[in-house]
Amino acid sequence: MKLKKLISEDDQKLVVEAIKRAELNTSGEIRVGIVSRCKKDVMRRAAKAFVNLKMGKTEQHNGVLIYIAINDRKVAIVGDSGINQKVPDDFWESTKNLMIEKFKQGNIVDGLIAGVERAGEQLKALFPYKSGDVDELSNEIVLE
Ligand code: CA
Ligand code: CA
């Protein structure tokens, strides 16, 4: 299924803007991936996407992939080793839950933005922005 059918172009822009805003405060890199359905374990699929997107190649290993199966209301968040060593154990779980709450209210875009912002705040605390930062990973939404 085409990404456009899953999420409108305007909504995509809102999500991309949220990623850009978050990355103004951190050297970390956030990406959002969307698929329509995932019958199996969404975390496994997200972990594969993380590798395929070369998200493990950032200098400080601080990439985060927020991955959703839109029609199944499933969310997975994959953080690279640099960030996973530092975030509280339940951080991704609670971020996921926050997103799922919004999804249940029918609010996909709000959920995505909430997830991006929460990940961004954590990245900001752990990997503050430094001048000369490079946008190592595209901010565009990924469709697998
Ligand atoms: Ca960066
Ligand atoms: Ca980026």
Mean pLDDT by 10 residues, the chain (144 residues): 78 97 98 95 97 97 97 95 95 96 93 98 97 96 86
At what angle are helices 91-104 and 108-126 packed, to 10 degrees?
A: 160
pLDDT of residue 143: 84
Q: Residue 3: what pLDDT?
A: 66
Tokens of 58: 């950032």
DSSP assignment of 84-135:
HTTS-TTHHHHHHHHHHHHHHTT-HHHHHHHHHHHHHHHHHHHSB--TT---
Look at residue 6 in the predicted model and tell me its pLDDT: 82
Q: Classify each residue of 79-105 as buried b or exposed e, where b means 16 or more C-beta atoms within 10 Å of its C-beta.
A: bbebbeeebeeebbeebbebbbebbee
> Quick one: pLDDT at residue 2?
65
Q: What spacing in Å lies between the alpha carbon of 53 and ligand 2's midpoint?
A: 12
> Do the Cβ atoms of 110 and 24 come closer than 8 Å?
no
Whole-number pLDDT of residue 29: 98
Which ligand is nearest to the Cα of residue 55, counting in written order?
2
Residue 140's SS3 state is coil
Kindly state the tokens that stand for 48: 């594969």
Q: How far is the CA of 43 from the centre of ligand 1 (A)?
A: 24
* CA 131–ligand 2 middle distance (angstroms): 15
Interval between CA 142 and ligand 2 midpoint (Å): 12
Q: What is the pLDDT of residue 101?
A: 95
Q: Provide the 8-state DSSP code for 55.
A: G
Q: How far does residue 102's CA lie from ligand 2's centre (Å)?
A: 24
